Structure 1
Amino acid sequence: MQALIWDVDGTLAETERDGHRLAFNEAFQALGLPWRWDERRYGELLAVTGGRERLLHDMATRPDAPADPDARRALAARLHALKNERYAAIVAAGGIPLRPGVAELLDEARRAGLPMAIATTTSRSNVEALLGAHLGPGWAAGFAAVVCAEDAPRKKPDPQAYLQALAGLGCAPAEALALEDAWPVRGARRPRKRRAPRRLTPPRCRSPRPRRSRRAPRASTARSGRRAAAARCRCG
């Protein structure tokens, strides 16, 4: 392994349930819409990648959503922009901590000189809000590439974001480990993905167990071998 590629939402932090969902509901309320996404509904909507796409998917099921496609897209864009503002406020207020072990793994990788990149389909403003709050204003210097929704418009599981991150790292897919909470990207030989990040620690050495001595063959087995040898001699 020569590099790490990080997803953001759900991997670096539990941003979906405690961040984006709440921000969407605040955006609905701000525009006077009677829509609310509870945890169950939002869990279903997570099957759709991308916040704006998620809004459009949900609106297709609502009789009180605009019927005109252009008006629906305009409303989705307005809601999404407002949601991003509310999300940044939630992060700034300390409402979204990093997942346990993430800060330690980031620091461990930096000290080991392991190059890292970010590959996400969330907006750059959301990434800047989260990592700026937890890693400081110079957070981007710790990553060889930061690929966001604006850079890779084809949403996951399309591998576009990962391929751009690999290009920024200058390594092949087999040389990078991707930490991701979503389904694997499409395409052969893409970076391996794990559901949750774990610290990179060397395996513990174990003393080799003493080898058991082979037991002598049972008498019946030895006799059978002698009879077979005698038979071969008679045939010769």
Structure 2
Amino acid sequence: MSSSSLAAVLWDMDGTLVDTEPYWMAAETPLVERFGGTWSHEQALSLVGRGLEDSARIFQQAGVQMAIHDIVDHLTDAVMGQLATDGVPFRPGARDLLRSLRDAGIKTGLVTMSLRRMADTVVDLIDFDAFDVVIAGDDATRPKPFPDPYLQACAALGVAAQDTVAIEDSPTGVRSAVASGAAVIGVPLMVSIAGAGAHAVWPTLEGTSAADLRAFHSTHRAAAHPSRESRA
């Protein structure tokens, strides 16, 4: 049975926890050009938040003559190489908010469409035990925007989706989290999330804490179930 308290916070990775989208884009253009094609910034933006296999099919349509898994591995290797060289570019406030959640005893999950080997690399570079569970692109039964990755994270954590807050930066990710039943905060970075259904849009995570997420979740639940909350 669901409670009305915040049980867990679920994080997207690329663009939400870490600003790696430029790394992906830097890997995409030379890949397409190797096969004689062209790749625009607008095309790159259209892939933000998508599952890697879906993105690989789009690269095939753009002329990349490689198997889907080879495209995924190539791009992942390129991004991981840049992470190794330049470090992990955490978004402002993200690391501090994670620490606040851990100090408050709130469960955390990472829900990303990147491969697990990349997700594990990012998690391993955080200097504290930041996540209770990681659901990566190669774990998901269906990719975002389906709710599956978020529901899998909830199942692994032993929590109900309505008792969680999800943090996302892309329309695809927001739709996935909303469909799961989570209360969703959008923190846009490279693309607009207008119309995707986020329950709140925050310009930044900087200066936020576990208390802010608890307050947001409580307000969201009260609005979603006014009669239930009024009797509590």
Q: Normalization by structure 1: what TM-score? A: 0.69
Q: Does 1:115 align with 2:103?
A: no
Of 162-171 and 193-202, more deviation after overlay is shown by 193-202
For the residue of structure 2 that corresponds to 1:152, the secondary structure is: coil
Cα RMSD, aligned residues only: 2.5
Which residue in the other structure is 2:57 paired with? 56
Q: Distance in 1 between matches of 2:135 and 2:151?
A: 10
Q: Distance in 2 between matches of 1:78 and 1:100?
A: 33
Query: What stretches of structure 1 of length at least 5 have no aligned partner?
Result: 67-71, 204-236
Which residue in the other structure is 2:83 paired with? 91
One-letter amino acid of the structure 2 residue matched with residue 161 of structure 1:
P
Which residue in the other structure is 1:178 paired with? 166
One-letter amino acid of the structure 1 residue matched with residue 186 of structure 2:
R
Q: Normalization by structure 2: what TM-score? A: 0.70
Q: Distance in 2 between matches of 1:84 and 1:186?
A: 24
One-letter amino acid of the structure 1 residue matched with residue 16 of structure 2:
T
Which residue in the other structure is 2:39 paired with? 37
Q: Distance in 2 between matches of 1:77 and 1:59?
A: 11
| Structure 1 position 176, deviation (Å) | 0.7
Q: For this pair of structures, how many residues does the alignment match?
A: 186
Report matched runs for 1:124-203 at 5 Å.
Answer: 124-133=116-125, 135-136=126-127, 141-183=129-171, 184-185=175-176, 190-196=181-187, 198=205, 199-200=208-209, 202=211
Q: Distance in 2 between matches of 1:21 and 1:79?
A: 14
For the residue of structure 2 that corresponds to 1:103, the secondary structure is: helix
| Structure 1 position 118, deviation (Å) | 1.2
| Structure 1 position 129, deviation (Å) | 2.7
Could you say if the C-alpha distance between residues 65 and 53 of structure 1 is closer, same or farther in structure 2, counting changes exceeding 3 Å?
Answer: same
Could you say if the C-alpha distance between residues 39 and 77 of structure 1 is closer, same or farther in structure 2, counting changes exceeding 3 Å?
Answer: same
One-letter amino acid of the structure 1 residue matched with residue 7 of structure 2:
Q
Could you say if the C-alpha distance between residues 93 and 9 of structure 1 is closer, same or farther in structure 2, counting changes exceeding 3 Å?
Answer: same
One-letter amino acid of the structure 2 residue matched with residue 174 of structure 1:
Q
Which residue in the other structure is 2:23 paired with? 19
Rg larger for:
1
Q: Distance in 2 between matches of 1:124 and 1:178?
A: 19
Q: Does 1:4 align with 2:6?
A: no
Query: What stretches of structure 2 of length at least 5 have no aligned partner?
Result: 1-5, 188-203, 213-232
Could you say if the C-alpha distance between residues 36 and 13 of structure 1 is closer, same or farther in structure 2, counting changes exceeding 3 Å?
Answer: farther
Which residue in the other structure is 1:215 paired with? none
